[in-house]
Amino acid sequence: MSGINKAILLVAGLALAACSDARWDDTNSGSGGAALGAGGSLADPSSPAYFREAIGDRVLFLIDQSSLTPEAQGILAGQARWLTANPDYIVTIEGHADEQGTREYNLALGARRANAAREYLLSQGVAGHRIQVVSYGKERPIEICSDESCYAKNRRAVTVLAGGAVS
């Protein structure tokens, strides 16, 4: 099992080398066990790896905003298509904020962002019972510098897959 996973990870890593933006190893998504591991091959369109990397598991937000940009809507539409094609998966959308803002406000802001992503998936036909939301506020930054280049990546809603066909 572990040998296979390592091989899959290597393939996923190679496939990503050409893709500048994506982070295939987001260990800080914070869901604590709900997320799947390597999630299969990127070459397999029904794999979680494909969902994360080819479709994109996250959308980004403007400062103190929770409305979806056209780019974010495109990513979420892709997520919705994938979830429709892979009905065994459920998701948790994790909303996050950058460090500009007080702790509790940012919790509420992260919830708004996660919910905006959820509403979009619902509008694209994904069933509500498949989508949970949680906010981490500013508690789980993935980038740690204190300027806009990092803040922009921290203001995010990440769609984390769980369950699924692991047979």
Partner 1 sequence: MRNAIATLLLGLAILLPVGAVQAQDGPLRIEITDGVIEPLPFAAPDFIAESPAASQYATDIARVIAADLVGSGLFREIPKVAFISPYSDFDAAVNFTDWKAINAQALITGAVSVAGDRVTVRFRAYDVFAGQELGSGLQLSGTTEGWRRIAHKVADTIYSRLTGEGGYFDSRVVFVSETGPKNDRKKRLAIMDYDGANVQYLTNSDSIVLAPRFSPTGDRVLYTSYESGFPQIHVLDVGKVQRRILSSGDGTMTFAPRFAPNGRTIVYSQTEGGNTDLYSMDIDTGSSQRLTSAPSIETAPSFSPDGSQIVFESDRSGTSQLYVMPTSGGEARRISFGQGRYGTPVWSPRGDYVAFTKQNAGRFHIGVMRTDGSEERLLTASFLDEGPTWSPNGRVIMFTRETQGANGQARLYSVDISGRNLKPVKTPDGASDPSWSPLQN
Using CB under 8 A, list all residues that contact partner 1.
28, 30-32, 34, 66, 99-105, 107-109, 111-112, 114-116, 118-119, 132-136, 139-146
Which residue's CB is nearer to partner 1, number 43 or number 63?
Answer: 63
Burial state string for 26-56 with b = 16 or more CB within 10 A and e = fewer than 16? beebbeeebbbebbbbbeeeebbbbbbbbbb
Which residue's CB is nearer to partner 1, number 54 or number 108?
Answer: 108
CB of 41 vs partner 1, minimal distance in Å = 28
CB of 136 vs partner 1, minimal distance in Å = 8
Which residue's CB is nearer to partner 1, number 54 or number 134?
Answer: 134
Q: Is 57 exposed, middle or buried (0-12, 13-18, 19+ CB in 10 A)?
A: buried
158: tokens are 């990440």
Strand 131-137 vs strand 89-96: parallel, antiparallel, or unpaired? parallel
Distance CA 68, CA 76 (A): 9
Residue 16, CA distances (Å) to 23, 29, 36, 41 in order: 8, 19, 18, 12
CB of 123 vs partner 1, minimal distance in Å = 14
Which residue's CB is nearer to partner 1, number 55 or number 160?
Answer: 160
CB of 114 vs partner 1, minimal distance in Å = 7
Residue type, 134: V
Which residue's CB is nearer to partner 1, number 5 or number 65?
Answer: 65
CB of 162 vs partner 1, minimal distance in Å = 11
